[in-house]
A = this chain, B = another copy of it.
Amino acid sequence: MKLNPIHIPLPDWVSHILSEKEYFFPSVAERMNLVLELAAQNVKHATGGPFAAAVFDTRTGRLIAPGVNLVTSSNCSLAHAEMAALALAQQKLGCYNLSENNLSCQLVSSTAPCAMCLGAIPWSGISSLVCGARDEDARAIGFDEGDKPDHWIARLNQRGIEVIPDVQREKARSILQQYLDAGGCIYNG
C-alpha cells in the first residue's frame, strides 16, 4: 500500500503578503489586523473558507506562523486556519508544546474556534487565545461550529489559557458576510 505523507502547503499569496510586512506585531490589535487581512485575502483568492489565524510570541509580538482555512483547496476537512497555524508554529520551532523552553505563544483567530480547533488548543501549549468574530457569527452565515463544551472560555481559563474575545468583531463579521455574498462554499460535513 502506497502511503503518502500528510502534505498541506499554504497558498503562495500568503508569502507575498508577509514579505511586505515587519515580523513584529506588538499589540493585540496589530496581530488581529494581520489575521483579518489574511482572512479577507483567503476569500479574495478563493483558497478556502473566510478564516485565518496566526501564532505569535506573546512577549515580543514576533509572528511565528500564519494559517488560513484550506478545507476546500487542500481537500482536507481538518485544515482549519487554527490547525494550520499551530502545526506550522510547532514545525518551525521543532516542538510539539508551544510552552516549552520558556516560550509563551498566543493564537489569534479571526473567528472563535470550532469544536475541533478548541479541542486542539490545550494540546498545543499556547498561553492565550484572541478571537475576532463569535461562534454565532459563523453560524449566522451557515457554518456549523460543532458541539463545544459549555463554558468553553472558563474551561480554557481553568487550564491557564487566557481568552480575549471580540477583538475587532465587526470587521471579522464583515469578512464572513463578504464570503457569503461572494457565494463561498459552506462546507459542513
Q: Interface of A with B (CB < 8 Å)?
A: 1-10, 14-15, 18-19, 23, 63, 65-66, 71-72, 74-79, 83-84, 86-88, 90-92, 94-97, 99, 114-120, 122-125, 144, 146-150, 152, 155, 187-189
Contact = CB atoms under 8 A, between A and B. Distances in A.
A-B pairs with lowest CB-CB distance, top 8: A116-B119, A115-B119, A5-B9, A77-B123, A6-B8, A1-B18, A123-B189, A116-B120
B96 A75 contact: yes
B91 A77 contact: no
Nearest to A124: B77
Contacts of A118: 115, 119
Given A3-B10, A119-B117, A83 B78 contact: yes
Contact of A75 (B15, B78, B94, B148): B94
